[in-house]
Amino acid sequence: MSTPRDRRPRDPRRPGATGRSGSRPARRPQRASNRPEGAPAARGGAGRAPREARGGAARETRRPPRRRPASPPPPPPLLRRTFRRGDPAKRIRIGGALVLAVLLLFAGRLVQIQGVEAEGYAAAASDLRLRSIDIPTLRGAITDAEGNPFAMSVEVRTVFVDPEEIQEDQRQEVVDELSARFGLDAEEVAEKVDAEPSRYQVVAHDVPPEDWQSLRELGLRGVGAQVDYKRVYPEETGAADLVGFVGSEGYGLEGLEGYLDETLAGEAGAHQVEVGLDGTQIPMAGGLAKEPVPGQDVRLTLDQDIQWYMSQVLAERVEELDAEGGSAIAMRPDTGEILGMADFPSYSPNDIDASSAEQRSNGAVAETFEPGSTNKVITIGAALEEGLTTPETVYTVPYSIEYYDQVFRNSSNDGTQRLTVNGIMAQSSNVGTIKIADQVGAGVLHGYMADFGLGGPTGLDLPGEATGVLTDPDDWWGTQLPSVSIGHSVSVNAVQMASVYATVANGGVRVEPNVIAGTVDADGAFTRADPPERRRVLSEGTAADLALMLEAVTSDEGTAPQARIDGYRVAGKTGTANRINPETGTYEDGGYTATFAGFAPADDPQVVVQVVLHNPQEIYYGGEAAGPVFNDIMSFVLKTLKVPPTETDPPAIRLQESGSTP
């Protein structure tokens, strides 16, 4: 049976007075007191005292219960700010004003976009989905003087497929037909036929129009073609080094193709298409934005037959003598027009990948060399023009001469001779020329060489052209004058030296070499190029004297009888010069350069031919190595131009005469 609950009121501040079940009892048990034996037992002992005794003395001796320290009073409650509701009408007015401001901002922007700047935004939006596609144009041709092509463009097709248009039942037929016709891998074609998302996949380039027409007749849906142009070069023209070629993108890279690219290329047209989100191109009606403008044809001064023949003869001689290379120039002395410009080694512009940079270089202007004895015409011409000597003046010419610390010798030891200026030229005497150069002087000789075009641009403006080296006379040291006078310590290219002999052949007037006759537009109208620069270098009398001396060179007493041509009077000059060894920087083991330059007929010059052979083996003298090439080329050119044979005989000139030393 449970103990009855204590119903007395409890102090809520006392611990344990919670009134909950299991709380501490209200009254604590008291410890037993030390009473004498026989005294009444304490509460909780073995026996219980009478009620009276419990209510009497026992109550008086009971100690009051100990109280625990009082707990601190609780903190006062926090004061809260009283919220008073404002006027709702005011809040509505402020909110409405803000909403109105935002709406006005959007409205203003809308007016700006759709009203004030509508066209600009429409154009910008259009640009995002419109694309401009180039329409290829016809590149101008490069032709000879008669219109025969050295380079031309032919119309071809670029075949493509539209995967969305190809019908499923024709898919395999399309793959098989395209791969078989164009020699393509069937799997690669299938990938293009199944390409997604796409409506334009190129299958083949440079397809002849007739081949496309044959494919078109099959009626395969989704197979189309675009007009394009391919650059082609007729084989065996021999003009690759001059003409150059275009790259895969259709731009000229080398030669005249590169130099005249803006003239030849024309202007591509433009067609606008709309591009979808998946990249699909959608042709637009009236989308032609710009008509293509075809390039202009460039007409050269070359003769294709002469060019071809020169290249063949030169190549044969270079290979025969195992030379490193060679160049040949044919030009008209009165106009400066180049009829042929051959170079070897060469290449095929239809197979660029099979060629090297050296083969593609136009050696006629890019390769420089020491002219050797062909330079003597300038030294002697300067002396004649300055009145320092005459063709009949006699010089004592020993086999060798010491000049400062160097000994100069003639090519053959004929002992000491008494040679006229005519004889010095005819026999190509080094010692005799040096004696004449001493009279001329460094400054005057340098001036004439510059007037003849040495040390400066040829005027052709061809890519890779090298101007050669002509040192300022103030920098000439002890043996420079004699060296330069006989064609050493100076370098030229083949066109420069050909121009020197053209100046003599043209009565002393130098006409700047030129290879471009003019341009032809799409309507066939020819526009002639600017006339070349003309400058008098020698008087007519001096030029005539030099022509007779040069004619003596091809006589039996001269150094180049191999250059004579039956029926024609021929004037010319041999040249044999040492080459610098690139490994040592000296002439030792550097080889030789063999040259011959001349014109015909000598009494009425029509053509100048210059031949250069670089480092021929065994036969390296100019007359023996280059003379036969000159003869062969000059004979062909005279026949091609229908130049009549010479009806006069050369006058007799004295090469040797006894007399006093000047």
- Terminal-to-terminal C-alpha distance of the chain: 170
d(CA 255, CA 245): 7
Instruction: Answer yes or no: are the C-beta atoms of 573 and 424 closer than 8 Å.
Output: no
d(CA 309, CA 363): 18
d(CA 181, CA 179): 6
Please, which residues bridge with residue 298 across strands?
Answer: 142, 519
- Per-residue pLDDT, 70: 58
607: closest CA among 630, 563, 638, 576?
Answer: 638
75-112 pLDDT, tens per residue?
666 555 555 666 677 778 778 888 888 888 877 777 77
d(CA 197, CA 317): 61
Distance of CA 482 to the CA centre of its chain: 43
Q: Is 272 helix (H, G, I), strand (E, B) or coil?
A: strand
492: closest CA among 512, 461, 510, 468?
Answer: 468
Helices within 56-130 (DSSP H only) = 57-61, 88-111, 118-129
Q: Which residue has the tokens 């020329």?
A: 433
- Per-residue pLDDT, 247: 87
Question: What is the Rg, in whole angstroms, of the alpha carbon atoms belonging to the chain?
Answer: 54
Q: Are strands 325-331 and 607-614 parallel, antiparallel or unpaired?
A: antiparallel
User: What's the per-residue H, E or C state across 139-202?
Assistant: CCCEECCCCCEEEEEEEEEEEEECCCCCCHHHHHHHHHHHHHHHCCCHHHHHHHHCCCCCCCEE
Global pTM reads: 0.76
207-257 pLDDT, tens per residue?
999 999 999 998 888 899 888 889 999 877 899 999 999 987 888 889 999
Q: Are strands 297-300 and 516-520 parallel, antiparallel or unpaired?
A: antiparallel
- Per-residue pLDDT, 409: 95
d(CA 452, CA 513): 12
State the Cα torsion 211-216-217-219 to the nearest 10°. 150
Instruction: Answer yes or no: are the C-beta atoms of 598 and 572 closer than 8 Å.
Output: yes
- Per-residue pLDDT, 23: 41
Q: What is the DSSP letter of 389?
A: -
- Per-residue pLDDT, 48: 43
- Per-residue pLDDT, 301: 97
- Per-residue pLDDT, 16: 44
Residue 269: Cβ-neighbour burial (10 angstroms; 0-12, 13-18, 19+): middle
Q: How many residues does the chain have?
A: 662
- Per-residue pLDDT, 290: 75
Q: Which residue has the tokens 């270089």?
A: 361
Instruction: Answer yes or no: are the C-beta atoms of 539 and 374 closer than 8 Å.
Output: no
d(CA 394, CA 314): 39
Per-10-residue mean pLDDT of the chain, 662 residues long, equals: 46 44 44 43 42 42 54 63 65 81 80 69 58 78 96 93 88 92 92 85 92 91 89 89 89 91 86 56 56 91 97 96 97 98 92 87 95 97 98 96 93 93 96 97 97 95 93 93 96 97 98 97 93 97 97 93 95 94 86 97 97 95 95 98 92 77 40
Q: Is 212 helix (H, G, I), strand (E, B) or coil?
A: helix
31-58 pLDDT, tens per residue?
444 444 444 444 444 444 444 434 444 4
